[in-house]
A and B are shown apart, each in its own frame.
Chain A
Amino acid sequence: MIAQLMYLVAALCFILALKGLSSPKYARYGNFIGAFGMLVAVVTAYVHGVVHNGLWILLAVALGVVVGIPAARSVKMTAIPQMVALFNGVGGAAAALVALAEFFAVRDPGFLFLLATVLTVLIGSVSFSGSVVTFLKLQELMTTRPVLLPAGQQLAIAAGVSSVALCALVMTTEIGLLLWLLTIAGLVLGVLFVLPVGGADVPIAISLLNAFTGLAVAASGYVLANTLLIVAGTLVGASGTILTRLMAQAMGRSLANILFGAFKATTVAAQGEEQRTVKSGTVEDVAILLGYANNVVVVPGYGLAVAQAQHAARELVSQLEQRGVSVSYGIHPVAGRMPGHMNVLLAEADVPYEQLKELDDINPGITSVDVALVVGANDVVNPGARDEPSSPIYGMPIFDVDRAKSVVFMKRSMRPGFAGVDNELLYNPKTTLLFGDAKDSLTKLLAAVKQL
């Protein structure tokens, strides 16, 4: 009874933790409340539920703390998506393991118990292996391009069908070996599911896997008849689902298209291979353009983060503001490698969050913007997404910077962006290209603006 009450307290804390995130100001307290709830729940479980093996459990917890805290403390903000993917994966694995262990412990399993067990094991193992592949892609330990296995689609269907069949078999025969086979099938399915997802679509994969782990944990709540696991897992499932949907909207594509799109032929038409002229400018040209503008929008992309140029960008913006230029940042929902990633990177560089604007804030007034400064972004300003139905990214909402009075495009080279699509904006007569490393160029720009 007391344990149930404590679990209720923990569940409330989790809800408050998520609620805290509705305002950046108080979000941190929300997170403390969530951590407190977790502590209450874990202590309750230990005090009320542990009959034996107590020392072993403490040892395993200690080991987890020793591994988890330094990893979380040292991770760079640019690498947060990989970290989240990894934590997500271990959570899914833990859920699957719990269901496996409970399956072997229970003598006379009922129908619902078995259903919840196979679901937890399946979803948990899909989430684990999928997250590991996502991690490898983000960490660039493997290619970020979609990996298309020969007959990949058939393999995925085969793995899916055998998973479902194994679920049914486990439920009817209750044979442990089959549950292990289901685990393996789930692991294979997770890998096959994420491999064909292209680099730019990885944020979607992360969101979806997050929802999966939540569902696996909720299902494990049925296995153990534990309400806290059900509530907490469901909350995470809801959050992952909402984020997945938002990401899909931000890319203007259906979820099915993102996940399975690579299965279809995505040979980008290699048209326009002939040399086309672009206008490239010097640092001084751009400094004059920026320094005498009234209204500037900075559109940062992941390239900014890779070059560690957030601070340089913020300094340049401060300098421009001192000159009376009004500056805001246009943050695309898919800028960065996971939902909202760019906001975190800019916050790290002390950019006030009031300056971070979304598509709907920027686009209506874009024609009165004097200079749109594109730093390390590409696909999110590609007019092809709006105008060319043949473009692979057609339908993705973009910043309409081609409608601003002028565009400065900072680029390392003429290489196309993450999605590998050519960008018409580069050849627009309004566009000035500034080649070079983003951080380097921004620092030079800052110096040049100071000279004006």
Chain B
Amino acid sequence: MIVPSVVLGQRAGAVAPSDRILFGGIGLGSRGTHVLSKILPLKDAKFIAICDVRDERRETIKSMADKNYGDRDCRMYSDQYELLGRSDIDAVLIATGDRWHTPLSIIAAQHGKDVYCEKPCSMSIEESWALADAFRRYNRLYQAGCQRRSGANFILCKDLLNSGALGKLKALYANVGPSVNWPPLPSRDWLAEEPLPPKQVLDWDRWLGPAPWRPYHSSYVRGGWRNIYDFHGGGILEWGSHTVDLCHWAAGLDETQPVEYEPVGTNVGPYHVNCRYENGVKLVMRDNGWDGALDTGSCSFKIEGEDGWVETGDKTKIEASDNIKPLLRPTEEARMALENHVKEFVRCIRSRQEPSASAAAAANSHVTCHAAFIAYQLGKTLNWDTAKHEFTNSDVANNMRSRALREPWRI
């Protein structure tokens, strides 16, 4: 039999179809589409299936994938089990609303899939641990969409700490969602009921999924689910899932959480949560405005050692104490963070090595954020036992570690 060389991957730069990592996607809106745009150019991967409860989104993603590959191979699903049941799919990209992240990731692991999931990755402390447990149990790979771990400016800051240039670590500063955009205490209210759209346009029951029932309002579906307690963890989780994650990663704290959480502020204006790790290192989650006090950009973080400090964010520039400035170097590839992060995931699928933003790492940084969020809701300093995974000075806080999932969903 004669087959084209490309089938065998023998043409220069070509990858045999059988050697491609096959992706499916679930719930890809604007962010998911952005991540998908980094998957589509990869020669050793192919995106072949989309699942969404909204028909126009399914069509949009299929069109995007088919146009990229010049075929009509991307299949559309409204039921995630049908997509996950396909044995040819290796990995799934999950970019639904936050309420779906943990349940869908766990279901994907049960189906033997590796997962790239947008953050925040969980809605509660309980979900965070369940996520890590499931990926360890199934020995599947999980990459949280914490792409800054793959950003050159963030990596340089980490390297400066690890090289000893900053001296002994004193404190970490994680900018959290500015209260003007992401108040620390999301609303627990409901919006006035609007008529439900036809089910084929939007299946409200499926859209709500594991979140508690509430009357339909079109605002939720248009992105207004953010800053609503039933769907969102407020400013602390919205940005903390990025920046606390960076702090943990940079300081080698991926396997632990702070033992103390002191909330400072109200729901209006700047707010802080001062945290302390068992080793005495401080973590300050702070509302420092959108671009940070040093104009380093959104989602910035700062590392402070005894001998110097360094700070960076999404503008990619790095600010540092005078003694550290000579050590800074251009980080031209800083804007490649997402591309690098996606590529790392695909590499790991091949090598079966743990990606940098694993489920276990995500669990620890998310538990830290959830604990801070609970402290902020209660307005009191909370102490946390890192071995027992419980608060030691508040039964109410312990009761808030989990949220019931709407039937029939479970984790």
Q: Do A and B bind each other?
A: no
